[in-house]
Amino acid sequence: MVKPDGVRANHTDAIKEQIQAASFAIISQKWVHLNESAAIAFYAEHSNRAFFPSLIDFMTSGPVLAMVLEKPNAVAEWRSLIGPTDSQEARLDAPDSIRARYGRDKQNNCVHGSDSQEAAAREISFFFDEYHQSEMKLDA
Ligand code: CMP
């Protein structure tokens, strides 16, 4: 997912070029503007963290681009391409990563990646199953 900061700063096309250069296939994509209940549901595992209210404000601040990416070992390969959660750390440890190039800090880190096969299945269903569409504000 390209997050609201990445969409706002017009980094979406450059990120998609980097995705394709790394031999991922973009299987599906959808623009979505998460409302509060959808953002809370998406990030439910972080609901006890101090940064959660701020994360929800951020994630509802504008549209995101959700994508289904395909490649062998896609979950690990994508996490490697995006780099560490904190964009400042990414600039030191993985300077060519997407978060290093386009993110700003721990929260405004431009992109999200599923952290396991199970999370990927859940998150793909979250964005692309018809059932969920009524719970989110669709921008396009
Ligand atoms: P993401 O990989 O989408 O998963 C959870 C998100 O919470 C993370 O990216 C960041 O946007 C945000 N996040 C994680 N840690 C922090 C933190 N310490 N402070 C603020 N936001 C954070």
**Residue-wise pLDDT tens digits, 33-71:** 999 999 999 999 999 999 999 999 999 999 999 999 999
Q: What are the backbone dihedrals phi and psi of residue 48, each rounded to the nearest 5 degrees, phi first?
A: -90, 0
Ligand 1, residues at Cβ distance < 6 Å: 46, 51, 55, 85, 106-107, 109, 112
Minimum-distance ligand 1 atom for the alpha carbon of 1: 3
Q: For helices 74-82 and 117-128, what crossing angle results, to 10°?
A: 80
Ligand 1 pocket mutation pick from 42, 82, 104, 109 by most atoms within 8 angstroms of CB: 109
| Interface predicted TM-score of the whole assembly (ipTM), two decimals | 0.96
pTM (2 decimals)? 0.94
How many angstroms does the Cα of residue 55 sit away from the middle of ligand 1? 7
Quick one: tokens of 101?
Answer: 């190039």
Active site residues: 112
Residue-range domain boundaries for the chain: 4-133
Domain 4-133 - what CATH class?
alpha beta
Q: What are the backbone dihedrals phi and psi of residue 114, each rounded to the nearest 5 degrees, phi first?
A: -60, 145
pLDDT digits 0-9 by tens, 81-128:
999 999 999 999 999 999 999 999 999 999 999 999 999 999 999 999
